[in-house]
A and B are shown apart, each in its own frame.
Chain A
Amino acid sequence: MITMEHVYKSYRVAKRNAGMKEACKALLRRETQTVQALSDISFAIADGEMVGYIGPNGAGKSSTIKILSGILTPDSGSCLIDGRVPWKDRREHVRQIGVVFGQRSQLWWDVPVLDSFELLKDIYSISQYDYQHNLEELTQLLHLQELLKIPVRQLSLGQRMRCELAASLLHSPRVLFLDEPTIGLDAVSKLAVREFIQRLNAAHKTTVILTTHDMQDIEALTKRIILIGKGRVLLDGTLEDMCLLAGKPQSEESRFGTKKHESMAFRQNADKTEAEDDTASENDLDRIVASLYQKLEIL
């Protein structure tokens, strides 16, 4: 169970104009500006739920993830995960969570993947039995057999991401945070990652919180979406709710969610292949999100 109530967080950032002269001035006197990253964020996520946490760049997604994972302390508000305050009980808390940053690696660059895994075994004090069991399961599900003996720097991005997922799950966390897990992956790898996350959630009831800009990830994985913009929760609901919020384009709305398959059936008759239809609907989804984000800018 994850709850966040009225969480606020602001940063002081240095502010200066471009140019050498300004840079020199800033050396002597630095002007700072307070940026409100999160204001009044509240939500609750039940065990075993998969939630998409989305919003435009700079909306506060990373700040939320950092607070939930105990890296940052909020200015005010409360946050509990399985009865623990993440930043107060950091070490106990991080035992129960796994975090994958799509843009950063947690593996040791120059040694074979298996070496990294064994170090993680020691870091999390995973028992030999659990380690063997989890490693076998993850190796099978993520097809890691051939990758384990290769140094991380020689893996492709897709291969590495599969290893990153395994690395974050060796200690059987109850909550998994995925920060843009499919960024930069090819279609095959994306599908593999999505399929794996689905299986993981089904088999272990792991709570998954997913931030992404890839709407296909959201469509494939999460029933529930939390949309944030400028540090506020704007929507907490389903994909259809989001389309409704976007308002336009009205005609395309009905093609998502439960109605999607029906409309697909119609389209197939109108001599369109399924694949074409899929790409079309994905573009539409991106368009809907884009129009939603544009609306947010105006707000």
Chain B
Amino acid sequence: MNTLYKNISLYFHYISIVLRSVMQYKTSFFLTVAGRFLVSFNGILGVYFIFARFHQVRNYGLGEVFLCYAVIQMDFALAECFAGGFLRFPGMIRRGEFDRILLRPCSAVLQILGSQFEISRIGLIIQAVLMFGYGMAVSPIAWTPGRVAAVVLMLLGGTLLFSAVFMLEAAVSFFTLEGLEAANILTYGAQEHGKYPIDIYGGRMMKICTYMIPYTLIQYYPLQYLLGRTQRWYYGLYPLGVVLFLTVCVGVWRLGMHNYQSAGS
């Protein structure tokens, strides 16, 4: 318990250094916030225009899609915020900064997470909250404690899932020494597709997004429960399954660490 407390306080110390650094470049910070906000606002407009014309996409109305979209965007923004260090990891390996991490008597993952805190994603998070509010207002959801819990789990599980994918991508660079551009399909691509409930893309996509990278666990299944389209209440607990995926990613990460220590650069 003592070490856990120590690690958490160390993490916050790291983050405070990152924030102090960010404050040194104010203009850059505000431009990044504005830029990210506009880019993702563009995506929301896209969905809005589609619904202005078609009213429904496979039984889902605008409000329902907005709920789904808001949750995914929030997941992704939170993951970028907290686990963004993994996205910079390939560069750290190439520049040899990872050696310094290994020279310090604390967990490598903690140091990587602590190397970055994307506070600039705050714009996206606010946007997601507004979108969620709108979605809630226009779609008739009978809120029960179970459904509120499902939303919380979707957020937790989703953030964890995207973070795990970032970690997986980072682990790959132990072997290739550089980032894999193709891996962005799993992150940015998933965020893009995840705007809509995954079943609109058909059965094959559902399978890929369940058994390979389990996006449906944090999106499609709990959403069915949330929208009252199923009697199966346990769909709301599906986001917990992400822990399994995370375990696999941690395993790959460990393998990569081991590989690095015996090969190096």
Contact = CB atoms under 8 A, between A and B. Distances in A.
Interface of A: 11-12, 63, 66, 69-73, 87, 90-92, 94-95, 97, 99, 101, 104, 106, 108-111, 115-116, 118-119, 122-125, 151
A2 to B, nearest CB: 16
B103 interface: yes
A11 B264 contact: yes
A106 B261 CA distance: 20
Contacts of A72: 261-262, 264
A122 B9 contact: yes
A122 B102 contact: no
B106 interface: yes
Contact of A123 (B20, B21, B25, B104): B104
Contact of B17 (A69, A90, A119): A119
Interface string B5-49: 010011001100100110011000000000000000000000000
Contacts of B202: none
Nearest to A90: B102
Given A91-B106, A115-B17, A123 B261 contact: no
B106 A123 contact: yes
7 contacts: A66-B99, A69-B103, A92-B105, A110-B25, A118-B13, A119-B17, A123-B10
Contact of A124 (B13, B14, B105, B263): B105
A104 B263 CA distance: 21
B6 A125 contact: yes
Nearest to B101: A71
Nearest to A93: B105
Nearest to A10: B263
A136 B20 CA distance: 25
Contacts of A111: 17, 20-21, 24
Interface string B144-167: 000000000000000000000000
A95 B104 CA distance: 7
Contacts of B97: 104
A116 B99 CA distance: 18
B14 A119 contact: yes
Given A119-B17, A123-B10, A106 B264 contact: no
Given A123-B105, A124-B105, A66 B264 contact: yes
B103 A99 contact: yes
| Band of interface residues on B | 20 to 34
A32 to B, nearest CB: 11
Contact of A122 (B13, B20, B25): B13
Interface in B248-263: 261-263
A94 B264 contact: no
Given A72-B261, A72-B262, A73-B262, A115 B20 contact: yes
A79 to B, nearest CB: 13
A169 B25 CA distance: 31
Contact of B21 (A95, A109, A124): A109
B263 A106 contact: no
Contacts of B102: 70-71, 90, 94
A144 B6 CA distance: 29
B140 interface: no
A118 B17 CA distance: 10
Contact of B264 (A71, A118, A124): A71
Given A109-B21, A111-B24, 7 more contacts: A72-B261, A73-B261, A91-B106, A106-B100, A110-B20, A110-B24, A119-B14
A144 B99 CA distance: 26
B173 to A, nearest CB: 15
Contacts of A71: 99, 102-103, 261, 264
A63 to B, nearest CB: 8
A87 B262 CA distance: 9
B118 to A, nearest CB: 16
Contacts of A101: 100
A11 B102 CA distance: 19
A111 B6 CA distance: 23
B241 interface: no
Contacts of B263: 11-12
A93 to B, nearest CB: 8
Nearest to A73: B262
A21 B264 CA distance: 28
A110 B106 contact: no
Contacts of A110: 20-21, 24-25
Contact of B24 (A95, A104, A119, A151): A151
A98 to B, nearest CB: 9
Q: Which of B6, B9, B104, B106 has the most CB of A within 10 A?
A: B104
Interface string B83-108: 00000000000001101101111100
A104 B96 contact: yes
Contacts of B9: 122
A70 B9 CA distance: 26
Interface string B57-99: 0000000000000000000000000000000000000001101
Contacts of B6: 125
